Every structure is written in C-alpha cells, then in structure tokens.
Structure 1
Amino acid sequence: MLRRHFLQRFLQGAGCFAVSAALPFRSQLWAATSAQPGAFHFPQGLASGDPTPSSVMLWTRVEPLTGPTAEPIALVLQVATDTEFRQVVAERTVMATAASDHTVRVYVEELSPDTIYYYRFRAGADVTHLLGRTRTAPAPDSDRAINLAFASCQSYEGGYYHAWRTLVNEDLAAPADHQLDFVLHLGDFIYEALGYGGARQIDGLPSGGGTPPEWAGGVYALTLEDYRFLYKTYLADPDLQAARARWPFINTWDDHEFSDDCWQSVSTYTAQPLAEQRRKVAANQAWFEFIPAVLSDLPASTIVPNAARDFTFAAVEDAPLAGTVDAHGLDTEPNNLRAIDTLSIYRSFRYGRHVELVVTDTRSHRSEHPVPGELNQQISGSARYVTPWELIKIFDAGRTFNGGQPPAEIPLGDKTIPNVRRDRPAGTMLGAEQKDWFKNVLRETDATWKLWGNSLPLQPLRLDFHHLDPAKGAELAFTTDCWDGYPSERAELLGFVDDHGINNFVSLTGDHHCHFAGAVAPDFDADSPRWVGAEFAVAGISSQSLFEGVLSYTKPDNPLRPLTAFELGNALAANLNTSFLWGTKAAMTAAKTGGDLTAAAAARNPRQNRHLAYCDTHSYGVARARVTADRIQVEHLAIVPPLTPRGDVGAELQRRVHFELPAWAPGDPAPKLASPQFEGEKPFPLT
C-alpha cells in the first residue's frame, strides 16, 4: 500500500488514481454529490483494461457541455456487482485535469476473480451515457474455457466500425459460457495521418500537421494535441464505445499510434528515415492517456518480473541518430533513448489454467529496416515492399552472416549490390532486453497454451517470381516491415520454442489487412520445416484491405495486374489470394484462362508459402478464439467493406471461417493447421 500511495501521488498530474474494493461497502460519496444535470458529458465513453484476477484499470474522459476548459472537473467512480448499483464495492472521487486532457485512469484492486463488475462515472449530476461492464480474469488454477476476440487496424477514415457492433450484438446473444472474457487489440488503434481512405473524413489537425515531401496526400500528427485529437475523434464512434464499454481491452500498438512503418523514434514517410523524438514522446503520452493499460502496477504473471512502466515525460529534441547501437540494439543518440524510455508496454497476463498471454512491443526497440529505403526503392520502386528474399537474409544477418564472413557485395540479377549492413549486428524486432523477457516468460509459464499478442505476422507472404520466370525472377518478400524483414530473430525465437519443448504456442496477429492462418517454423524454407506452433492473422476492422491496396498500385495496364485481379463475370476475382496460396504461375494461369481453377492448380508451386492454411486478402472484420485444455478454436468473421453507416444492425457478413487446432505434447512438433470450415461463400480461388 505504501508503494501504491507513492505512485498515486506521483502520477496524479497524469490523471492516475487507485482504489481498493472491499465488502461490505456502503456508498456515501455518490449520494452526497449534487449539481444540476446538463453541465457535463463523456464524449469518448468509458473503458476498462488489463484485467487480472484481482484488479482492472477503468477509464473515462469528461468535458463541460459548453466546451473545453482548463479547470479541473471532479468525478465520482462507482464499481458494483449489479447493474442497479445496489452492491457497490468501490467508490472514489478523482480529479480530471487539463494536464491529462481531462482523462482519468483508476486502478481498482482487491476484486474477486472471474467476476463481472459494472462501473460508471459521475460529474455533478451527469452520468456516463453508457454502463461500463468489465470482467476480472479467472484464478490461475481455474479449469474453464477462455473466450477472447482479437482485432487490428481501424482507420476512422477508411470505414465504419461495423465489426465492433456485430461483435457486441453476437456476444449479447451468446450463452454465458461463450461470452468474451476480453478483447486483444493488436495495434493501429488510431492512424496518425489523415488520408487513409475516404468513407469518413477528418477535417484537419490542431497544429495543421506535417506533410512529407514524397508522400502524396494527407498530413500527419506532429504534437501532443494532434494525437489527443485523433484519439478523441476515433473514440467518439458509437460502435467502438459500445465495445470498450462491454469488455476489458488488452492493447498493444503497431506503427500508426506513432508513425507509419516506424522504428524506435524514427518515421519513414520518405525513403530517408527521419528521427522525430518529440513526436514519439507525444504519441506515447497520448496512448497512455487514452488506453486503460496497467503498466507499472501490473502483477507479474510468472516468476519473471514485470517490465512495463507508466509514462514519464522527458524533454527531448529532434536530433539525427548516432548510427551506433547499444547492447539492446537501440541507437545511442540520447534523445532517442529518452523518448523510447518514456513508456514501456510489453507485459503478460495469466487467464486460468490454460492461457498465458504475452503481449509485445515490436516498434520501440527494433532496429532499422534491413534494406535501406532508398536502396529498396531503386530495386522495386518501394521503400519496404517486394524485396528480394536473398537480399533480406544477408542484410538482416549483418556481420553474423555466413559464420561471420558476410560478402562485401551481393549479386542481384545482372548487377551487384553493396552490402551496406556487413558491419552491423543482426536485426532485432524486440530488442535484447524485451527478447530475454519474452523467452523467460515462455519458459516459466505452466499454462496449457502460450498465446503471443504479436502486432506483426511471423508467417511470410512471399511472391515466387522465380517460379513464374526462372530465368529472370526472384523470390520476393511482400514487405520487410514485418517479421519477414527480421528473419534472424524470428528463427532465434521459434528455435527457442522448439529447443525448450514449448508446446501449444500460438501467435495472434494483425497489421496486413487480411485474414490468414497457418503454421510457424524456425526455418520456413527448410525442405521439411519443423512446425512449432500456429498463427492466426486478423484483417482490419475498417482499414483498406490488402487486395484493394495492391489493386490501387497495379493499374489495368500493368503487366503484373493479373497477379492481383482479373475480371470474372461482373466482378474482379481476388487473384492475389492465388499468388500467395498457389504461386504466381498459378495466378497468371487463372487470369489467362478466365478462372479455370483446374488449370491453375496444375500450375501450382508446391513450395509456395507451404505454411499457409488459408488466405483472404480482400477481407475486413474481427476474430474470436475459444481456448480449452485440449484445443483452440478460432473463427474469422469476414464482413462486407464497411463503407456506409449501418447503425445498431452491425456488419453484413460475407463468411465465417472456422479453425481448430488440437493441443500437442511438449517436445512434439506442432500439428500443421488444417484447412478451415466455411459458413458462407468461399474466397477465390477456394471457390
């Protein structure tokens, strides 16, 4: 309690408070609060986050109805076990101040495990318009099934949040033992730039925003007020508010919470990276204010100490990076290190006997992209897409390649590429400190299933142009901004899983704006890969699908257009699925034959992305998982592009895709994920 009081005093300026729940309890403050109604409102609703068996973080933001104010606003929080608040277990008066943009975070302790609680906030006589509902985690020895949803990528301008409304509606109708325990949000909760899509519009940023010279269209957030404005805009959406009011969220971030395709405090809007330490601090502060995560106070889920830390402001300047890295893989420029260190969000959670959820940060501690953007642009016309796989392997390994003897030059077609990474350490996505923590948690947990909340996919999405044209083509990684750009560390981590006999290992991921699933291995390119787990990737809630994004770059006169789409009847066939699942030769055959799948299958590359059990690049939606002692069941909900409002009805579903993965014994290879079962129309070419 002394530590709690210290943190409470220290963080009061950041809108952080703590309260203990105990029974019996008699409410006093709520009844004593009096004021005329109609003075205040809660435009971003309320939320809960990071539940443990005995605690949860509660959140809201308040404003006077007359508009923003610099004055503090007194709030009263109540937590109860019933919707009528006859059984109040915690009550606390807190102050919402301008220092935290009138957001408040209240850490509630001494709760009962596996219990549904209801909560509300009051300002004067005005009460939050939504009733908050949250649920603590079951005790570590609980044998019950765990139900969760996972989601990613919710561009406000890209579309509406129909998937959230459908998830709420279906959960309300579900039997009690199948209702969700929590939602795992895998990142891109906001998009820092305007111009991602056109279903809805955001008119400007408070600062006016920044405009990179090589980026066509849009502006991006520069200041704390800009990032706060984006969170307030996104959280004003009624479907997202309904989801946050119904379930506790466990959040990590990806890139857009700070800057597209970022690493450390570096933005990459242009081919030449730019250090923006002040933006990184502003983005971290806004995330901490608007996302109810438990960081410094989170109890460790295993004997491995908790590494997360609350936001602490640091005054920094935007300074060029030093070009040298420390023992943890971070650039040693002092402003860079201070900016990153303002907030640490990697953490783990225990849910009953069967789930250990490990949540990582794949942005703040990673090394720079393996192939420099300017070089990649010369090769493929893009800073981080369609990169030769052989080049990635050599560049990523740095000075460790070929037993410590990397080549000075690399042949590429009829040219040679200088090996600009030959003196650099191997690439890292997690950084040394987080990587050690991650390994230790996996090794120490005794939970049946080890789930990784992983903002970026482990599984490659490769394009086998060498199979389409053996004389000129090369195998290409679709993007280097995911784990396929950091294969050395991926092999190390998955090799650790294999070497230590860690069974029932599953990655839950997003980012790529498509539904896909399959197996994971230390070496995806081996003749007989040893599968050590599975991965399920979820499409975006509203962000433009991968198919539509690639389609916009491959115009009808582009010779590579058939690998993405071709006319089939009155619609476009999503032939990008074929390219990833069966290979480019099969995709070209499908396009040339007008969709003859027998001919396409005959041209299939048997080694093409062998790990994939499913891929639907033209999809939006969310996913659910049910975890028991003997299996994990995953359902992808694929919805119609959410481009028009639908109110409380929710999404129009295209299909439900069902996977089932049985548990396996320690030391055994993981069973390769089988093809899914479908409800509704299958995507091309599985039709």
Structure 2
Amino acid sequence: MDRRQFLKYGSFITVSVASGAGLVACGGSSSAPADGATDLPLASGAWKFPQSVASGDPHSDSIMLWTRAVPASADGVAPAPSASDSAIRLVMTAVDNGAALGGSSALSGATVVDIKLPLQSQYDNTVRHKVTGLNPNTVYYYQFVAGDTRSNVGRCKTAPAADADVAQLQFAYMTCQDWSVNHWGAMTSIAGENLDFIVHLGDYIYETVGESFQVGAVESRHDALTLPDGAFKSGASGAKYATTLADYRYLYKKYRTDARLQALHERFAFIAIWDDHEFSDDAWGDAQTYDGTFNADGSDLHQTGRRRNANQAWFEYMPADVNLDTATTSFQNIKIYRDFQFGKLMQLVMTDERLYRADHVIPESSINPATGLPLGRIGSRYLVQQDVFNAVEAQKMAGSTTIGLEPLATVTMLGTTQRQWWMDKMKAATSTWKLWGNEVSLLRMGLNGMDAIATLLALNAVPTIAASIGSTAAAPAVGGKIPLAAAIVAAATAGATAALAQAGGTAAYVSYVTGGTAAAQGAAAAAAGLNAAQVAITVATMNAVIDISHGVLAATPAQQIAVGAQTIAFGYIKPDIQAKKIESPFVAASGKKAALAPFFARFLLNCDQWDGYNSERKALMGHLKSNSISNVVAITGDIHAFFAGTVSDDFDATGGGTPVMVDLVSAGISSDSFFSYLRDAAAALGDIAALVSYPLAIPVTGLGTLSISINMLDYTMGKAAPTVDSLLEQIRVQVRGALGAKGLPEAQLDATASAVLAGLQKSSDFSVSLLALAQQLAGLGNNPWIKHLNTDAQGFTLVTLTPGKLVAQFKQVNKLVGGNAPTSVVARVSTATVTAGSAAVAIS
C-alpha cells in the first residue's frame, strides 16, 4: 500500500508482508507492530470477539483479514467504548488447523504472520489488515488475540496464479439475508460445502426495521432490531430506516452475531459487493425512493450524509480490499467495483450498480395525470408500460446529447467510467470463463397485458359458463347429458340464439352418438344453422367433455362441467378478446372496460433492474457480440427468486435478438420471495391478482385448514405448462411450510405433505381448474429466453466450474418449522448447465 494513502485512512487499514519465518511490516522486522499500533498498549485482561473473524478478496498473493474486539464487559453491538483503544495480535499459518475451526484453541504450526495491530474506537474497534506475499492457491489459518482472549480460528484460501491451469473451482453465491423474516438455515448448508470462496451479491443487511415485508414469521433466535437513532419512514410511528453511522454499524454488528453467518466468514473468504439495502431500498446514487418521501418540489430526496454513513459502515465491516476517502465531501467516496483472476479458468468482474446509476428512467416522483400525485413505485419501477418507457428513455438520451453529454449519461446504471472499465476488462480477459458479479438481473421480464387480460376475463367467465352448463344439462330436453349441454352453451356463448344453439348442439351430439367424426359433427351443426366460429367451439367443447369422461380420471360430472366451461372460456372468449382487444363484447360484458383499458399494453415488470436501463444493456451486450467475447455468465441476486436464461444483444429485435451471455439469478437467503411481494401488490388490482396467485384452502384432519397461495406468477412469466404431477411438486415446499406453521413436528412433515398432495390430486379445483389456469398462463409465451424460474423460494446457488462447463445448483430451502429453521434445510435442487462456447443454458 502507498504510505501516503495509508496515512489518509488514519491507520485503519494496515498491511504486512508474510514470510516463511515471520513477516516484514511496513519496513519493520518480524513481529513488529503495524503502523498505528506503535503507540498503543497491547490489550490485557478479558476481551471478546462478538462478530468473530472474516476474510475477503482473495488474490494469488494477498488476502484481507477482519475482526472486531471489545472488552468482555462491553455490549457486543453497542458502540465500542472510547477508552478501549489498544493493540491486538494477528497470527497466521499455512499449517493445517482445520480441526480447530469453530473454536478458539490456539493455532499450531510455524507462523507466516505474527503482528501487533491497532484497535481504535473511532472505527468501532474493527480491524482490517491486508496480508501480502502469500503463496497462490494455498489455504491459510489465522487468529486474533486480544488480552487473554483468542478469537475463533479463521480459514481462507488464496486464488491460483494468473497463469495456472485450474481444473476446477467451486464456490457459492448468496444474497438478500433479511434478519427480520424467515430463517438463515441456508447458511448452515453453505458452511458444509467444499468451497474455494463465497460471492455475496448484496443486501447483506436491510436498512429498515418494522417495514411491511418484515413482519412475517421469523425464527425465534432472531430477536427484534432496535436502531440507535433511525428515522420514521412515514410520520412519527411505524417502520424506521437507518440514517446515522451508528445505525448502519449496529445492523452489521447485529447481523454478524448470528453463529451461522460467523461460521461462513470463518471458513471462506468473501468477495462482496452491495446492492440497495446496504443504503436504501431501490436507491440510485445518494437518493432514496421510499414512496411519499419526496422533496417539496416532487423530486427524489437526496441524502448525501446518509449515503456516506452507509458507505463507511460497509467499508468498516466488510473484508473487502477497497478504498474509502473520508476527506472528500462526495457520496462517491468509495470504489467497490473490482476484478479477480483465478488462473486461466476464470476472471470474476464485480460491479457497483447503485452508486453511479442515474435516476430510474421514469422517476417515482413523476406526476400521475389521473391523480395529480407522484406515481410512486407502480408505473415507474414496477409494471411499467414498455412503450412509455421506450419513449422516455429515448427522450432522455436525446437530451443528454443536446447538453453535450454522452447519450447514456442520464440512463446509466454503471456510469461512464465503470462501463468503460467493464468493457475493457471483458475484452482483455484471457481466461476461459468471464463471470460477472451482477447485482440486478439482466433478463428481460416482460408481460403482454392484452393476452393476460384475455386470459383473466376468460377465467372469470368460467363459473358463469359452468353454471349454465349445469342448468342446461338439467333441462328435460337434454336429460343430464353434459357433453350435449356443453355443446349448446358453447354455441350460445359464440353468439347463437337460444334456438340455434339448441339445434346446432343437438345436431353435433346426435352425429357423435351415431359414430360421426369431428368433421361430421361440425357439418351437422352447420346444417342446423351455426356459423363457422360457432361450429368450431361447439364441436371442440363437446369432445373435450367426452374425452375427459372416458379418460384416466374417470371424471365426475363436476369435472366434466369444469372442462366444458374452460374449453369455452379459453377456446372462444380468450381468442375473441385477443382479436378485438378492448372492443370485444366480452370486455364490455365484464363491466370493467374502463378499468382494464390501461392494461392492454406490454409491460416491464421490474425497471429497477436492467430492464429499466435497456439502452446501456444493449451497449454492453453489443460490446460482447462485436468483439466475439464468449463464455460470459452473470451471477446475480436482488430479486428473491431463482432464474436462468440467456441475455440477448437486443431483446426488442425480431425473435428477441441474439443470445450473447447467460444470467443465473439466485434467490435470497431469507428475504420474502418476489412472488410474495407481487402477490400482495396485485391483491389491490382485482382481477389482475390471478396472474400472480391462486388461493387454495386445504382441509387437513386434526390440523384445520391450510391456506396456500399457489404461485401463478411463474407461468405468467414464462414457465413451461405443468402437468398435475409437476404442479403438485411445485407446491410441496409451501405445503410443508404451512404444516410446520400449524405445529406439526418436523419428523412428520414430509409424509404428511405427501398425503396432502395426494388428496389434492383428486380435487377438481386443483387438477382441473387450477391446472387449466396454469397451462393458459404458460401459453402466453412471455419471456421465452427464461429457461428456469422459481419466484417463490429462498436459498443459494452452488457453482462448479471447469474448462468445459459451468454447473450451477439452485438450492431451495424448506420453510420455518414453528419458530426454528428446519433441520432438513435443502428442499430441492435444480441444476443449470452452461457449456463452454455456447450462450445457452440447459436445466435439469
């Protein structure tokens, strides 16, 4: 480290050079004190390490080590006592001390580092020490000593040399670990893996306490958080958000008291970036975007001091080899984007997608002309009309050019300097794989509103149609024949008069009974007076009911009626709306024409991610394409869901463009799922809610009723059409979790969940109605580039990388069991494989 830089940070970052017999520290001799520790007395007496130890940023010759020590009598999450300034020791060895992990027994073996380090209350008694001169691809063990107390033993591994042939790397990546909801059992599973390092993609802490998404069930070992200061999000009560340096420090300290998170830091070096919650939800630069907290002129509220506090706390508590400049008054006083080389196998590029980004293309503070109030989240960040977005983005880019800026200056996520750095790194990379530590998803997540509305109105018509089939079947002229009743109702729905519907339906049914083919049935219906469209739906509906009544389900009358109603709704009503749009008579008949009109458009679901910075994404992908840069894979967090898919050079081009790289998105460790957020938001949108969730009440003997919200969002976004079996398997984790919430012991959960699912298979509400809805939503064809998605999950991702392929295992975890993390942590594993030389992903 440059000594002048070292002095600027007031001895907070210290550096030493390891050697076989000891070390040389900033020009001193073996066991000499680091700068800043010379005048401090060595700590004595009883101390503790309430946040344990950590390591980070492994290079082939260096590692950053971290700890925090306070007197044994001090509160472990309170500010460090001002009188506690002293010095502690760091000891490091290459001798295997693996058996000591998880405990504080003294390290054994020859040391490569034994140094006195400063411990200062102005940095909250945190220590960040960089050891250089290490050997590549080597496991080291380290330990801090304060007075009479030793820290737990830490382990870290350096990266292979840049020119080394590497057969395999294995690492986990993780994100979104909200203390206040669900559980951290995933960390236990990660700790048991054989890893070279861990990548953390942000949302290490959540800046809010008591927010609406943080009031669900949480494991009992996570007590309530209390910010030292905090500011109310709305008025003088309710949720608070961190604002002072003490607030942010408190959150890191509190989160790091969990023994499972400590175990991860003790065992593996972290390579970490932040996302938004390390400062403020959906932040850009130093601006926060909480609804209703705008300036008097309607603009977003900029909080430079708060942003700097967040920067400093992250810097103090994350073992990252980055620089912080406290002398400048800018909020951009830290640079966390950086890269890592792992031999010839992989270059890992980590970006910062918050500090330099421009405002969302459509700001939250934009006035909604219908209400005269700021838009807030809906229409700016979420559920944004694509045509409106494209027009505003083009307008902003033209404005940038007019005032002498580059076109992307006002619509950028990375900023000009970081964007060029990313392009240069990708172009210059010589490794087989180029991995991108990416905060927010690159995948287009769109929705065709017209097709969705057509599906929903068809769905809403099913109960009415079913009732009509039932009453028609009961008429003496029909005599209980459900196929005939369905044929008559189908013709009437398609516009035939009652008399024509009766005649045409009867003619088709008589033809069937006498052995007529579908063509013959149609001819008979036409001869009775039905037009071509009426004939088509009449014959299709009648045969759908006949088929299910003779099929493997041995359908009950209720199931036959349900199939008939769905065939009419999705076979005639839906296509009519798709063809005639807002002018379809079925839209008018719904009584909601005015309310539904705005939804007859294409939407972008989440413009806080790369969909909201589309032109810059095109520039990055175009750079990869034009320079023939292959084997690029983004590892991504943020959205609390698992996704895998290809990223195109231009998603707006015919056919969705040309795939140039792959994006693999991991669900959050504990944060509530993307599905749950949209389910709650969609509940206020009436019919639109069916695009997201389907409520199902399941009676269970002895336990009462399980209330399950079945995930329809996956199918709306592009998941393949399910079978009954795959739909049942999809909800297994939710059913198991609901049983656990009812107090059922964990030993009984799996067997009971299987019994509940077996019972559901016999339910027409599930195996007919719900299945048909899921299949219709899957048929919308949204986002064909997404090859895997699970939007209702928590978990992490394990990557095994070889020269020939990248294998990512998406590990979904089970739900809470009562107030505890499940003993059986991992619920299911889905595998995404990327083969070298191909911008494609296969799912198994």
If the length of structure 1 is used for normalisation, what is the TM-score?
Answer: 0.82
1:58 corresponds to which residue?
65
Q: Quote the Cα distance in structure 2 between the aligned partners of 1:557 and 1:600.
A: 19
The amino acid across from 2:439 in the alignment is: S
Verify: 1:117 aligned to 2:130, yes or no.
Answer: no
> Which one of the candidate residues 160, 167, 175 is aligned to 1:138?
160
Secondary structure of 2:683 counterpart: coil
1:187 corresponds to which residue?
202
Verify: 1:485 aligned to 2:612, yes or no.
Answer: yes
1:351 corresponds to which residue?
342
1:87 corresponds to which residue?
110
Task: Give the superposition deviation at 1:605.
Answer: 4.2
Verify: 1:577 aligned to 2:751, yes or no.
Answer: no
2:521 corresponds to which residue?
none
Task: Give the superposition deviation at 1:60.
Answer: 0.2
Q: Quote the Cα distance in structure 1 between the aligned partners of 2:376 and 2:281.
A: 21
The amino acid across from 2:204 in the alignment is: F
2:437 corresponds to which residue?
453
1:73 corresponds to which residue?
86
2:688 corresponds to which residue?
560
The amino acid across from 2:303 in the alignment is: E
The amino acid across from 2:291 in the alignment is: T
2:718 and 2:780 in contact (8 A); partners too:
no
1:237-265 deviation digits (Å, cap 9, x = unpaired): 11110001110000111111111111111
The amino acid across from 1:166 in the alignment is: S
Verify: 1:206 aligned to 2:198, yes or no.
Answer: no
Higher deviation after alignment, 91-100 or 383-392: 383-392
CA RMSD of aligned residues (A): 3.0
Task: Give the superposition deviation at 1:569.
Answer: 6.4
Unaligned 5+ runs, structure 1 = 172-178, 296-309, 317-337, 406-420, 665-669, 678-687
Q: Quote the Cα distance in structure 2 between the aligned partners of 1:62 and 1:545.
A: 35
Task: Give the superposition deviation at 1:381.
Answer: 4.5
2:43 and 2:88 in contact (8 A); partners too:
no
1:43 corresponds to which residue?
50
Residues 583/113 of structure 1: CA separation in 2 closer, same or farther (3 Å cut): closer
1:96 corresponds to which residue?
119
1:291 corresponds to which residue?
318
Secondary structure of 1:558 counterpart: helix
Task: Give the superposition deviation at 1:551.
Answer: 2.1
Secondary structure of 1:105 counterpart: strand
1:325-355 deviation digits (Å, cap 9, x = unpaired): xxxxxxxxxxxxx111x11111000011111
2:664 corresponds to which residue?
536
Task: Give the superposition deviation at 1:660.
Answer: 1.1
Verify: 1:219 aligned to 2:254, yes or no.
Answer: no
2:201 and 2:438 in contact (8 A); partners too:
yes
1:515 corresponds to which residue?
642
Unaligned 5+ runs, structure 2 = 24-29, 34-40, 75-79, 98-106, 295-299, 369-373, 454-580, 583-596, 699-707, 728-763
Q: Quote the Cα distance in structure 1 between the aligned partners of 2:377 and 2:155.
A: 49
1:457-486 deviation digits (Å, cap 9, x = unpaired): 001222221222443411111121111101
> Identity over aligned residues, as a percent?
30
Higher deviation after alignment, 470-479 or 194-203: 194-203
Q: Quote the Cα distance in structure 2 between the aligned partners of 1:645 and 1:205.
A: 23
Secondary structure of 1:551 counterpart: helix
- Aligned ranges 1:23-422 → 2 under 5 Å: 23-25=20-22, 39-67=46-74, 68-71=80-83, 72-82=85-95, 83=97, 84-128=107-151, 130-140=152-162, 141-169=164-192, 171=193, 179-196=194-211, 197-198=214-215, 199=218, 200-207=222-229, 209-213=230-234, 217-270=238-291, 272=294, 273-295=300-322, 310-314=323-327, 316=329, 338-340=330-332, 342-375=333-366, 378=375, 381=378, 383-400=380-397
1:530-559 deviation digits (Å, cap 9, x = unpaired): 110111000111111111222222339932
Residues 426/378 of structure 1: CA separation in 2 closer, same or farther (3 Å cut): closer
Residues 461/214 of structure 1: CA separation in 2 closer, same or farther (3 Å cut): farther
Task: Give the superposition deviation at 1:581.
Answer: 1.3
Which protein has the larger Cα radius of gyration, Structure 1 or Structure 2?
2
2:22 and 2:31 in contact (8 A); partners too:
no
Residues 582/161 of structure 1: CA separation in 2 closer, same or farther (3 Å cut): closer
1:434 corresponds to which residue?
418
The amino acid across from 2:351 in the alignment is: T
Secondary structure of 2:282 counterpart: coil
Secondary structure of 2:82 counterpart: coil
Verify: 1:505 aligned to 2:489, yes or no.
Answer: no
- Specify which structure has the higher proportion of helix: 2
Secondary structure of 2:291 counterpart: coil
1:386 and 1:476 in contact (8 A); partners too:
yes
Task: Give the superposition deviation at 1:222.
Answer: 1.2
Residues 643/389 of structure 1: CA separation in 2 closer, same or farther (3 Å cut): farther
Residues 201/465 of structure 1: CA separation in 2 closer, same or farther (3 Å cut): farther
1:397 and 1:425 in contact (8 A); partners too:
no
Q: Quote the Cα distance in structure 2 between the aligned partners of 1:238 and 1:448.
A: 37
1:417 corresponds to which residue?
none
> Which one of the candidate residues 790, 793, 798 is aligned to 1:624?
798
1:303 corresponds to which residue?
none
1:390-436 deviation digits (Å, cap 9, x = unpaired): 1112222334469989xxxxxxxxxxxxxxx9x99550000000001
1:629-682 deviation digits (Å, cap 9, x = unpaired): 1110000100123576657x7652221011111111xxxxx44322x22xxxxx
1:95-150 deviation digits (Å, cap 9, x = unpaired): 1101110000000000000000000000011011x210000001122322111111
Q: Quote the Cα distance in structure 2 between the aligned partners of 1:292 and 1:480.
A: 31
Task: Give the superposition deviation at 1:163.
Answer: 0.7
Q: Quote the Cα distance in structure 2 between the aligned partners of 1:220 and 1:599.
A: 40
2:381 and 2:612 in contact (8 A); partners too:
no
Q: Quote the Cα distance in structure 1 between the aligned partners of 2:446 and 2:235.
A: 27
Secondary structure of 1:457 counterpart: coil
Residues 380/202 of structure 1: CA separation in 2 closer, same or farther (3 Å cut): closer
Residues 569/654 of structure 1: CA separation in 2 closer, same or farther (3 Å cut): farther
Residues 260/496 of structure 1: CA separation in 2 closer, same or farther (3 Å cut): same
Q: Quote the Cα distance in structure 1 between the aligned partners of 2:175 and 2:352.
A: 14
Q: Quote the Cα distance in structure 1 between the aligned partners of 2:178 and 2:377.
A: 27
